[in-house]
């Protein structure tokens, strides 16, 4: 996952004139030069609005935000807006950036044509195994906007707002405005398409909130402002198929999600596409009071690279916008951009150059396909955006597999590699991000939903996409069904019912897959609506254990929704050294009643290995078995101690930079050192922080203190409270133009 780039834009049409301009025309021409910003403020936004209207009359206050965060949306000339940075109540400013016009893969205008070519495509309505349609429920989609002119979205579109341009037209970005988008339309179609394609809840109303602009970029502030507008508009559910790399529960977007939930809004969030490693879930999916959704993969036939001599198989992830990989014989691998790529598979590493440009260059040199391997551990999913669709398939592979291919190609005179096609078992999508959350150690995702080969609406037609972005709107649609079926149920009851009745996923040996991979399991709408039992908080996180011996207690709330008394009993888990459970004896719950029962876990820390410990408890009632995941961290684990590093020019400043870093543990100091990325020779220390805190840390550097411009490998070294050190690396660019 990536941190969203800063973006807010506002555009006006010029009014042509001849000869002398009238005052009205002069005003219109001046408006052309105006920009828009969103500022975060200390204190009361309403009072600050009055102040600006009195002392800065040439600044227009477009909107105020006070439910989920304190802020104002402003419009004015660059000179006027620059003065906002000097006001003592302004905490941060989010400003304009320029984007190049690009186009994406052309959609298919016929569902039938798509299904013929890809029989394994998943249609959203297939998840709805109920009689309900989401009638009377309003869903807010915080995303890239939607194509409300699409014939399958027109009927259920109910308005919205654009937090990028600050107007009431939340249309997707078009080619004339910058890099075009289709993500929000695809998400909206999964929820409530109502035409040739049917969504999960085809009668639900959709309100669109464009928080991500050209190329699908935006800031956390735009996302929070969009959520606030959705709350003001009275939506019942909010879908957030977006995120960043910060694994922490108190990142601003996560805090806003929790506040929205406190106001009675059901918030559903994509867990992220940075799997399969642990600790890859990012904000706002880390929010405690929202449903974070992982991706379930249906069985499908996928191409894999294969070397018969070493019996090596390599999984490839198709780039969004790429044609299908349909190679039927072996082809030679070529490293980088050799002079002659004719008929070869080009192997290149991910870097600063856009994926489209990497692939286009290889295509121009005659490559038959392109493999882009990661520059950091694990797999990744990418998208191709360019003026002309590419004619060759483009895929990504993990850093580890990419380095294996590099070595293979270097050692062989003619490094041919074959393509084989395998039928996969249904289960967890490999790209789906894993938990747990740092700091509070919550289990994420909460639940799974279909997330591969999902057919839905996009501007100009239809497209099959995959990602947890596609899984989350399935859950939103299901919640719309449940709100129609159970109008008196609270969001807590709905969440509890969805989790209680989820179907746990097992591996090839029949063992339950780890909780931090699947949460409670795969969603089942009918079971959730008809459940006789609701377990309100079935994911049991016992936190981080630092004492020699400690007992933690979690209060479990169980509701009997049936019309007769029900009996419940726990199955005693197998004994483990250092672990002792104290579970309730068999108990009864009267019809329509709910009870709170204690779950005690005693841990003797030295008797157990350090790290993540997780498993499942089983609660039985009649013929039903409910699997409750549990987790605790013994002393420490391999979670990142620092994440979400940002380094940018301070808004409206020409000589001061701001850096931000999220820390997940108590530290003595943090130091960022710069190295030459080619020779790895140390160059200089960029900055050092000693007064740090768990959560977001921020500081400033003057331009004169930056040193010489260039591209650097930044090593972030964290000294923990126990005196040990941990290091992480990333790349930063100090531009000579700054």
501-548 per-position pLDDT tens digit: 999 999 989 999 999 999 999 999 999 999 999 999 999 999 999 999
- The residue with tokens 């409670």 is 520
Each residue's pLDDT tens digit, 230-264: 999 999 999 999 887 788 887 888 889 999 999 99
Averaged pLDDT of the chain: 87
pLDDT value for 194: 98
What is the pTM (predicted TM-score) of this model? 0.83
Which of 85-99, 274-288, 530-544, 665-679 has maximum average pLDDT? 530-544
pLDDT value for 110: 81
* CATH architecture of the domain with residue range 23-94: 2-Layer Sandwich (3.30)
CATH hierarchy code of domain 111-298+427-500:
3.40.50.200
For every residue of 291-313, DSSP letters joined together read: EEEEEEE---EEEEEEETTTTEE
Mean pLDDT of 707-732: 87
Which positions are catalytic? 143, 183, 469
Integer Cα distance of 674 and 320 in angstroms: 34
Rg (the chain; Cα; Å)? 26
Integer Cα distance of 506 and 521 in angstroms: 9
pLDDT value for 10: 18
Domain boundaries, the chain: 23-94, 111-298+427-500, 301-423, 532-634, 642-734
* Right CATH for 532-634 from 1.20.210.10, 2.60.40.60, 2.60.40.10, 3.40.1190.20: 2.60.40.10
3-state secondary structure of 474: helix
Lowest mean pLDDT among 43-52, 216-225, 360-369: 216-225
Q: Which residues of 232-360 form beta strands (DSSP E)?
A: 237-240, 266-270, 291-297, 301-307, 312-315, 317-318, 331-335, 345-349
Each residue's pLDDT tens digit, 458-490: 999 998 888 999 999 999 999 999 999 999 999
Tell me yes or no: is domain 642-734 CATH 2.60.40.10. Answer: yes
* Right CATH for 301-423 from 3.40.50.1970, 3.50.30.30, 3.10.20.30, 1.25.40.80: 3.50.30.30
Take residue 102 and report the two structure tokens written for it: 């690009």
């Amino acid at each position: 996952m990536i941190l969203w780039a800063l973006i807010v834009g506002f555009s006006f049409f010029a009014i042509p004139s001849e000869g002398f301009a009238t005052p009205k025309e002069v005003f219109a021409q001046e408006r052309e030069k105006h920009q828009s910003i969103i500022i975060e403020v200390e204190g009361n936004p309403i009072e600050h609005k009055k102040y600006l209207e009195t002392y800065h009359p040439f600044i227009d206050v477009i909107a105020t935000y006070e439910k989920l965060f304190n802020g104002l949306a402003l419009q004015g000339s660059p000179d006027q807006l620059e003065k906002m940075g000097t006001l003592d109540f302004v905490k941060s400013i989010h400003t304009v950036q320029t984007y190049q016009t690009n186009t994406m893969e052309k959609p298919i205008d016929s569902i039938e044509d798509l299904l013929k070519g890809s029989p394994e495509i998943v249609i959203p309505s297939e998840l709805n195994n109920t009689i309900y349609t989401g009638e009377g429920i309003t869903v807010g989609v915080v995303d890239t906007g939607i194509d409300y002119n699409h014939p399958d979205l027109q009927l259920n579109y109910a308005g919205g707002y654009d937090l990028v341009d600050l107007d009431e037209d939340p249309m997707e970005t078009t080619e004339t405005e910058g890099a075009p988008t289709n993500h929000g339309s695809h998400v909206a179609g999964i929820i409530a398409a109502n035409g040739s394609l049917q969504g999960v809840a085809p009668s639900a109303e959709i309100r669109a909130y464009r928080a991500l602009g050209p190329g699908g970029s935006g800031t956390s502030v735009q996302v929070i402002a969009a959520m606030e507008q959705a709350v003001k508009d009275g939506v019942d559910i909010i879908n957030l198929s977006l995120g960043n790399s910060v694994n922490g529960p108190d990142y601003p977007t996560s805090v806003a999600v929790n506040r929205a939930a406190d106001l009675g809004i059901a918030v559903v969030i994509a867990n992220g596409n940075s799997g399969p490693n642990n600790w890859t879930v990012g904000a706002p999916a880390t929010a405690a009071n929202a449903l974070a959704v992982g991706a379930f993969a249906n069985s499908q036939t996928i191409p894999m690279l294969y070397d018969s001599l070493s019996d090596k198989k390599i999984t490839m992830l198709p780039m969004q916008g790429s044609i299908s990989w349909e190679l039927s014989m072996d082809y030679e691998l070529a490293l980088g951009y050799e002079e002659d790529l004719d008929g070869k598979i080009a192997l290149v590493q991910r870097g600063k150059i856009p994926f489209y440009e990497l692939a286009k260059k290889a295509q121009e040199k005659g490559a038959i396909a392109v493999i882009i391997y990661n520059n950091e551990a694990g797999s990744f999913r990418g998208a191709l955006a360019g003026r002309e669709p590419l004619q060759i398939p483009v895929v990504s592979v993990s850093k580890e597999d990419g380095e294996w291919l590099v070595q293979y190609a270097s050692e062989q005179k003619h490094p041919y590699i074959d393509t084989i096609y395998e039928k996969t078992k249904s289960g967890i999508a490999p790209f789906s991000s894993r938990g747990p959350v740092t700091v509070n150690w919550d289990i994420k995702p909460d639940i799974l939903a279909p997330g591969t080969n999902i057919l839905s609406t996009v501007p100009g037609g239809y497209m099959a996409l995959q990602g947890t972005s596609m899984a989350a709107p399935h859950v939103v649609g299901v919640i719309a069904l449940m709100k129609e079926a159970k109008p008196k149920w609270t969001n807590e009851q709905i969440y509890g019912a969805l989790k209680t009745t989820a179907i746990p996923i097992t591996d090839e040996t029949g063992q339950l897959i780890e909780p931090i991979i699947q949460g409670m399991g795969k969603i089942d709408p009918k079971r959730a609506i008809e459940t006789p039992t609701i377990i309100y908080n079935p994911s049991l996180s016992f936190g981080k254990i630092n004492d020699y011996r400690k007992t933690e207690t979690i209060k479990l709330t169980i509701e009997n929704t049936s019309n007769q008394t029900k009996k419940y009993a726990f199955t005693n888990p197998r004994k483990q050294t250092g672990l002792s459970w104290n579970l309730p004896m068999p108990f009864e719950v009267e019809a329509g009643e709910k009870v709170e029962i204690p779950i005690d876990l005693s841990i003797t820390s030295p008797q157990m290995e350090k790290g993540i410990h997780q498993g499942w408890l089983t609660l039985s009632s009649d013929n039903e078995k409910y699997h409750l995941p549990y987790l605790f961290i013994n002393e420490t684990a391999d979670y990142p101690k620092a994440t979400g590093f940002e380094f940018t020019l301070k808004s409206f400043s020409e000589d001061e930079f701001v850096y931000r870093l999220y820390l997940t543990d108590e530290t003595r100091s943090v130091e960022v050192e710069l190295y030459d990325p080619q020779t790895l020779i140390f160059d200089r220390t960029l900055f050092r922080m000693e007064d740090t805190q768990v959560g977001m840390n921020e500081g400033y550097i003057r331009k004169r203190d930056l040193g010489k411009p260039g591209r650097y490998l930044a090593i972030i070294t964290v000294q923990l409270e126990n005196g040990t050190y941990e290091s992480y690396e990333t790349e930063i660019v100090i531009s000579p133009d700054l």
